[in-house]
Amino acid sequence: MGRPRTNDEAVKERLVACATEMLANGPRESVTVRAVAAAAGTSTTAVYSLFGGKDGLIAAVRDRAVSGLFEEVSAVPTSEDPLADLHALAVAYRRWGCGHSHLYTVLFGGAQSFDPSGAVGSRDPIRPLIEAIDRAVAGSLLAGETTSIALSLWVTLHGLVTLELAGALDAPTAEAAFRSTIHAALRGWATPAVFRALRRAEPVT
Do 23 and 66 fall within a single domain?
no
Q: What is the CATH number of the domain that holds 37?
A: 1.10.10
Q: Is residue 1 part of a domain?
A: no
The per-residue pLDDT for 115 is: 46
| 128 inside domain | yes
Q: Is 3 among the domain residues?
A: no
Q: Minimal CA–CA distance to 106: which of 59, 151, 153? A: 59
Q: How many domains does the chain have?
A: 2
Nearest residue to 114 (alpha-carbon basis) of 154, 56, 167? 154
pLDDT of residue 112: 45
β-partners of residue 142 are: 190
Q: For residue 84, which of 194, 196, 205, 204 has the smallest C-alpha distance?
A: 194
Q: Quick one: CA torsion of 121, 107, 93, 122, rounded to 10 degrees?
A: 10
CA distances from 137 to 148, 169, 197 (A): 12, 33, 16
Confirm whether 205 is domain-assigned. Answer: no
Q: What is the pLDDT of residue 201?
A: 62
Residue 19's nearest CA partner among 5, 4, 39 is: 39
Phi–psi pair at 63, nearest 5 degrees: -60, -40
Is 0.85 topped by the overall pTM? Answer: no
CB atoms within 10 A of CB 50: 20
What's the rounded Cα separation, in Å, for the pair 144 and 3? 61
- Indicate whether 21 and 95 sit together in one domain: no
> DSSP alpha helices (H): ranges in the chain?
9-25, 33-40, 44-51, 54-74, 82-99, 101-108, 127-138, 146-165, 171-189, 192-200
Whether 189 and 145 have beta carbons less than 8 Å apart is answered as no
Same domain, 88 and 46: no
Half-sphere exposure for 38 (CA within 13 Å, toward CB)? 6
Domain that holds residue 41: 9-52
3-state SS, residue 196: helix
Per-residue model confidence as pLDDT tens for the chain (205 residues): 344 555 688 999 999 999 999 988 887 788 899 999 999 999 999 999 999 999 999 889 988 998 999 999 999 999 999 999 999 999 999 999 999 998 998 888 654 444 444 445 667 888 999 999 999 999 999 999 999 999 999 999 999 999 999 999 998 999 999 999 999 999 999 998 777 776 666 655 5
Torsion of the alpha carbons at 180, 78, 114 and 145, rounded to the nearest 10: -70
